[in-house]
Amino acid sequence: MTMTSRILFNQEMETLNQEVSQMASLAREAVEKAVRCIINKDPLLKGEVERLDKEIYHMEQIIEKRCLEVIALHTPVAGDLRTVSTCLKIITDLNRIGRYASDIVEIYDVVASENGFHRPVNIPHMASLVVAMVTDAIDSFIRRDDRAARQLFERDDEVDCLYDLNFRAILTYMIEDPRKITVGTHIILIARYLERIADHSCNIGERVVYMVTGERMNPKDRKKTARESCASEPSPLNREDRDHLERSNHDLAEK
């Protein structure tokens, strides 16, 4: 291993880092815009999100190729190896995130035409949590901060809870007013996509922990407080959210 090959290697690792960061910010942008598209009923954003998704997919291919090149030519070990393997894995997650963002804006047509739910049940709040998670997951990768990464798992629990609540609420409304079934099911899809995005953010977090410390997390560590507490009491929700939920339920009941 001469000094020359390490210079090339370092350059490759730097490029890899930049490309993954770039792909990550595209994914974040896609999620953000998708959420805004739905909530603010902005049709222009739909086209943008679809464009972003394509770009994200394209980047995944570039980065995967680069990772394999680094492995073949430079045989990275230890920290470098963990970094490269992390990059390989999180681009999959980022790609999925982009895909889900695109899926969300597909639903725009159905939701937009419907006069029904002006305020989708608690979706904005869930969405803002998810966008924050995506942002923080990406930041933890860029800053190599495993502690920030670990904090994602609790927030994922929160998002899962919200999903459960939303699901049940919407189910209730659909039963009460069958005319709302089309919209209802689509909104459930949106919630589902958001929940999946949160999961993938968690995956990224898990990979970041491995990259920084070499520790492989036990799946049980992730779903610590999960579904059980959600079913018994809405304690993950704070007072604000609960009030918000009450009011939303009320609004919908009146429509």
Q: Which residues bind another protein (CB under 8 A)?
A: 1, 5-6, 9, 75-82, 213-214
Q: What is the DSSP letter of 236?
A: T
54's tokens: 């394509």
From CA 145, how far away is CA 149, in angstroms rounded?
Answer: 6
Residue 44 vs 78, nearer CB to another protein = 78
Residue 237, helix vs strand vs coil? coil
Question: Which amino acid appears at position 172 of this protein?
Answer: T
Q: How far is the CB of 48 from another protein (least distance, A)?
A: 41
Count other Cβ atoms within 10 Å, centred on residue 122. Answer: 21
Residue 81 vs 132, nearer CB to another protein = 81
- How far apart are the two ends of the chain, measured CA to CA in Å? 71
Q: How far is the CB of 82 from another protein (least distance, A)?
A: 7
Residue 69 vs 251, nearer CB to another protein = 69
Q: How far is CA 226 from the centre of its chain?
A: 17
**DSSP per-residue string spanning 138-157:** HHHHHHT-HHHHHHHHHHHH
From CA 216, how far away is CA 222, in angstroms rounded?
Answer: 12
From CA 194, how far away is CA 198, in angstroms rounded?
Answer: 6
Residue 84 vs 111, nearer CB to another protein = 84
Q: How far is the CB of 214 from another protein (least distance, A)?
A: 3
Residue 11 vs 128, nearer CB to another protein = 11
Residue 75 vs 235, nearer CB to another protein = 75
Q: Which residues have CB under 8 Å from 202's CB, separation 6+? A: 133, 137, 152, 153, 156, 222
Q: How far is the CB of 78 from another protein (least distance, A)?
A: 5
Residue 15 vs 213, nearer CB to another protein = 213
Q: How far is the CB of 160 from another protein (least distance, A)?
A: 31
Question: Which amino acid appears at position 220 of this protein?
Answer: K
Burial classification of residue 246, based on how many CB atoms lie within 10 Å of its CB (0-12 exposed, 13-18 middle, 19 or more buried): exposed
Q: How far is the CB of 69 from another protein (least distance, A)?
A: 17
Q: How far is the CB of 146 from another protein (least distance, A)?
A: 13
